[in-house]
Amino acid sequence: MSRDAGNSRRSGSHRGAGRGARDRAPRIEISPARLVAYDLLRDVDDRDAYANLALPARIREAHLDGRDAGLATELAAGALRGRGRYDRIIELAAGRPIGEIDGRTRNVLRLGAHQLLSMRTAAHAAVNESVELQRRVANANAAGFVNGVLRTIGRSTAAEWDDRITAEAASPDDALAARTSHPAWVLRALRDALRSEGRETELEALLEADNVPPRVSAVVLPGWHADVRESESTSDGEVALTATGPSPTGWELAGGDPLRALAALGLPDGVARVQDQGSQLAALALTRVRPVAAGERWLDLCAGPGGKTALLGAEARLGGAHVRANEVSSHRAELVRRATEAVADTVEVVSHDGRDDEAYGPRGVPYDRILVDAPCSGLGALRRRPEARWRKQPTDLPSLTALQGELLDAAVAHLAPGGVLAYVTCSPHLAETRVTVDRLLKRHPELRELDARAVVSGVARGELDLAGSARSVQLWPHRHGTDAMFIALLERGD
């Protein structure tokens, strides 16, 4: 431990020293963006908030302009993505386990470390504003501790800290996990999934991709696609909108405010929205596995928040089918209703447990197509939901996989002969993907697995690099630019 870290620890725990430093130091104005970023980290810790939902609300509440909103987003998302790495660096600089540091102070230090190691913020500004932030939102007596730790961090480069992480790690996996800010169990799960495809050498590329903010992808629902034209960025703030990416209904935005860009298209509410292109392909795999016959009945069993449901509804509308959308949470069911306003004549929204008969309707009439987008660990969306990697534990998997199996069994019982079931998770974890499918096939010999690889390859815009020999599809952020969505298609025998 460096002398500065030791001194800062003592000053942080000495009430008189902290008060004296506070009295002598001139007051520094904290930028609104840093306050918003801190509040977001606190929301994630204390309220289990989803960063991608809570941050826009915080930005609106603070009335941040575009520049400050961008800074707040970079600070908060960067600190969340890099949390594992920053925590290890903070431990090394402070000479104490991260768990022994007060939660509020941890978040101040994470924001400061991100500025020092991953942004172009001047070192003195990063340290001084962090110290002032500590005085404002946490234990003011620990301001000296924050000052000392961040100054210690700032004396070494990011590469030098990574070298130290590696040198002091218990194993190569622990070193790689800390450097890339992934829990070690997640790293091993990702390696196992890649190894099943013969692509274990891609692990570091995947871990790196998880820490890069994704380009904003959008969907324009079928039926309105022809009304959209590509646009270019202009000096007055129009955002470039380009028909690119693997989904034939997908678009990418070059930057700026996506809601403003999509609203400028002038389409009905809900027709154009932000949606990952892997999610789009998962819905289209079910709708385009075979031609749609008029009068077909479709079910989206776990519909919230409604992005896939809207795409199903648009495809059903064109083919003369009808969609029942079930969501166990009444709040999320309302989100589904809002998401499907443009296709409300085709989509019926209900709220039941997907394992109960009520979810399938009172008549007992089977469904021709069922989407089971099951609750899962969410390890496939770490680019967009960086906090998810810190929330889940390997002990969560047994209950999740049990629920996935129960939902699938219930869905199979309501699948028509010749009907197709799509099993989808936003996770590459083998326990939630191939293991679940293989167990389902053993329990239900009336099912056969279709070639989802051929279906998705036929649907996709351009060629997809789908590795391995399984008939299911595993998408990857580093290879396809999407969330790591898993897609399996199963048909019930006549």
For 374-422, the pLDDT digits (tens) are 999 999 999 989 899 999 999 999 999 999 999 999 999 999 999 999 9
What is the pTM assigned to this prediction?
0.90
| Range ranked top by mean pLDDT from 44-53, 135-144, 435-444 | 435-444
Cα-only R_g, the chain: 25
> Mean per-residue pLDDT for 211-231?
85
pLDDT greater than 80 at residue 185: yes
What pLDDT does residue 195 have?
98
Beta pairing partners, 22: none
- Phi, psi angles (nearest 5°) of residue 219: -120, 140
What pLDDT does residue 26 have?
57
Amino acid at 175: A
Task: Name the residues annotated as catalytic.
Answer: 426
Can you say which residues are annotated as belonging to the binding site? 302-308, 327, 353, 373
- Of 417, 221, 307, which is closest to residue 325 (Cα–Cα)? 307
Q: CA 353, 354, 355: angle at the middle one, nearest 5?
A: 90
What pLDDT does residue 266 have?
85
Residue pLDDT, tens place only, 274-307: 999 999 999 999 999 999 999 999 999 999 999 9
Share of the chain above pLDDT 70, in %: 93
Query: Binning pLDDT at 50, 70 and 90, where does residue 262 land?
Result: confident
What pLDDT does residue 362 have?
80
Q: CB pairs under 8 A, 24+ apart, for 452-455? A: 452/285, 452/487, 452/488, 452/489, 455/285, 455/288, 455/289, 455/489
Amino acid at 164: R
> Mean per-residue pLDDT for 452-463?
96
Distance from C-alpha of 466 to C-alpha of 472, rounded to nearest angstrom = 10
Q: Chain-wide mean pLDDT for the chain?
A: 91
pLDDT greater than 60 at residue 12: no
Q: The dihedral of CA 436, 437, 439, 440: what is its sign?
A: positive
Can you say which residues are annotated as belonging to the binding site for S-adenosyl-L-methionine? 302-308, 327, 353, 373
- Of 449, 445, 419, 447, which is closest to residue 433 (Cα–Cα)? 449
pLDDT greater than 50 at residue 10: no
What pLDDT does residue 476 have?
98
Query: Binning pLDDT at 50, 70 and 90, where does residue 39 land?
Result: very high
pLDDT greater than 60 at residue 11: no
Contact predicate 286/316, CB 8 Å? no
What pLDDT does residue 231 have?
64
- Of 311, 309, 280, which is closest to residue 217 (Cα–Cα)? 280
Query: HSE-up of 55 (CA within 13 Å, CB side)?
Result: 24
Distance from C-alpha of 32 to C-alpha of 144, rounded to nearest angstrom = 22
Residue pLDDT, tens place only, 231-250: 654 444 556 788 899 999 99
Length of the chain: 494
What pLDDT does residue 3 have?
34
pLDDT greater than 90 at residue 15: no
Least reliable range by pLDDT among 11-20, 166-175, 349-358, 406-415: 11-20
Residue pLDDT, tens place only, 97-154: 999 999 999 999 999 999 999 998 999 999 999 999 999 999 999 999 999 999 999 9
> Mean per-residue pLDDT for 73-84?
95
